[in-house]
Amino acid sequence: MRMFPLLFLFLLLALPGCGNVCDQMCTAQADMIDRCLSTWETTWPELSYADREGFMTRCSVVYGDALSGLEEGSTEAVLLEDRCAQDQQTATTDIDCQSLVSIDP
């Protein structure tokens, strides 16, 4: 009976890590854009996306699906994982909203 709370806690802790590193990057970038829209005095449509979900869909197709389609450990997969990790770091540490030019999708 005590196993259920431990299993629930494990699942709860695992949720933020869902998806591959590129999917996580997409979420970090969407969070940054949401935070910076007023600073940039723009909107999702002005950035060529209907909304946050439109950005997430495109980003996931461009990066997350691409990574999933590569052979794990291949040179291409490692390079893409590295790029996604770097872009995720940029999005999560950008405090002055200057990273827009580095966001590609």
pTM above 0.95, yes or no: no
Q: Is residue 1 part of a domain?
A: no
Q: Is residue 11 part of a domain?
A: no
Task: Write the DSSP string, 55-93.
Answer: HHHHHIIIIIHHHHTSPTTSHHHHHHHHHHHHHHHHHHH
Per-residue pLDDT of the chain (105 residues; tens, 9 = 90+): 444 343 333 333 333 445 789 999 999 999 999 999 999 899 999 999 999 999 999 999 999 888 888 999 999 999 999 999 999 999 999 888 887 666 655
- Check residue 7 and give its pLDDT: 35
- Check residue 96 and give its pLDDT: 85
* Overall number of domains in the chain: 1
What is the C-alpha separation between 104 and 59, in angstroms, rounded?
9
What residue numbers bound the domain in which 24 lies? 19-98
- Check residue 13 and give its pLDDT: 34
Q: Is residue 84 part of a domain?
A: yes
Other Cβ atoms within 10 Å of 64 Cβ, number? 22
Other Cβ atoms within 10 Å of 56 Cβ, number? 18
Q: Is residue 13 part of a domain?
A: no
Is residue 83 a contact partner of residue 66, using CB atoms and an 8 Å limit? no
Short-list 96, 80, 75, CA closest to 88: 80
Q: Is residue 50 part of a domain?
A: yes
Alpha carbon separation from 30 to 8, 10, 73, 87 (Å, rounded) = 28, 26, 27, 12
- Check residue 16 and give its pLDDT: 42
